[in-house]
Amino acid sequence: MNFPTPFPSGSEVIVQTTVQTFNGPQTPGVRLHDVNETGFLIRMNEVYSSGTGTADGLHAEEIIGWTAYTV
pLDDT in the model for residue 48? 65
Q: Is it the case that residue 4 has pLDDT exceeding 80? A: yes
pLDDT bucket at 53, cuts 50 / 70 / 90? low
Whether residue 24 contacts residue 5, with contact meaning beta carbons closer than 8 Å, is answered with: no
pLDDT band at 24; cut points 50, 70, 90: confident
Instruction: Give the pLDDT confidence score for residue 51 in this predicted structure.
Output: 63
In the chain, domain spans: 13-70
